[in-house]
C-alpha cells in the first residue's frame, strides 16, 4: 500500500511540470514595488496577504507575497546587517513573514549584499 502511495505522489509532482522539468505556470505573486514603491507599511502588507487569500488569488496560484525595497533604514555600523524600519514595521519583518506564512502564502524579501539596497 505504501509503495502505491509513493508512486502516486511521485506522479503528481511530475504532472505539474513540463517535459523539461519546469513548472506548468510561472511563479505567481504580488510585489510591493509595482504599485507602492517606498510607500509600504506592515499594515499594508498584512492587508495585502488577507486580500490575496479572500479574493481567491491564492487559489489561482498566486502564492508569493514579495516585500520589495524600502523596508529597511540602513545598515548597523558594527554588524553590517540591514536594519528594518521600525516605524513602518513595528512588529518586525520576522513577525510579518510569520503572518504571511500563516495565510498559506510564501514570503519574499528584497535585499542586497552590497552597501546600498540596489
Query: For residue 40, what is the domain's CATH number?
Result: 3.30.750
How far is C-alpha 118 from the geometric centre of its chain's CA atoms? 19
Predicted local distance difference test score (pLDDT) of residue 22: 76
Mean residue pLDDT across the chain: 84
- Look at residue 62 and tell me if it is in a domain: yes
Predicted local distance difference test score (pLDDT) of residue 9: 43
Strands 72-75 and 82-84 turn out to be antiparallel
The domain in which residue 97 lies consists of 25-109
- Look at residue 44 and tell me if it is in a domain: yes
Closest by Cα among 65, 61, 10 to 34: 65
- Look at residue 16 and tell me if it is in a domain: no
pTM: 0.76
pLDDT tens digits, one per residue of 48-85:
999 999 999 999 999 999 999 999 988 888 988 888 99
Q: What are phi and psi of 75, to 5 degrees?
A: -105, 145
- Look at residue 64 and tell me if it is in a domain: yes
**Overall number of domains in the chain:** 1
- Look at residue 5 and tell me if it is in a domain: no
- Look at residue 19 and tell me if it is in a domain: no
- Look at residue 20 and tell me if it is in a domain: no
- Look at residue 46 and tell me if it is in a domain: yes
More confident residue, 110 or 80: 110
Predicted local distance difference test score (pLDDT) of residue 17: 66
Listing DSSP states for 56-86 in one string gives TTGGGTEEEEEE-SSSEEEE-TTT-PEEE-T
Amino acid at each position: 500500500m505504501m509503495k502505491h502511495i509513493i508512486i502516486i505522489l511521485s506522479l503528481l509532482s511530475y504532472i505539474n511540470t513540463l517535459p523539461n522539468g519546469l513548472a506548468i505556470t510561472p511563479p505567481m505573486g504580488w510585489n510591493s514595488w509595482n504599485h507602492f514603491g517606498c510607500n509600504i507599511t506592515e499594515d499594508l502588507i498584512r492587508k495585502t496577504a488577507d486580500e490575496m487569500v479572500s479574493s481567491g488569488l491564492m487559489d489561482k496560484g498566486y502564492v508569493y507575497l514579495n516585500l520589495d525595497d524600502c523596508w529597511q533604514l540602513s545598515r548597523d555600523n558594527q554588524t553590517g546587517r540591514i536594519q528594518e524600519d521600525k516605524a513602518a514595521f513595528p512588529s518586525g519583518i520576522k513577525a510579518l513573514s510569520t503572518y504571511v506564512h500563516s495565510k498559506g502564502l510564501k514570503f519574499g524579501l528584497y535585499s542586497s549584499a552590497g552597501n546600498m539596497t540596489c
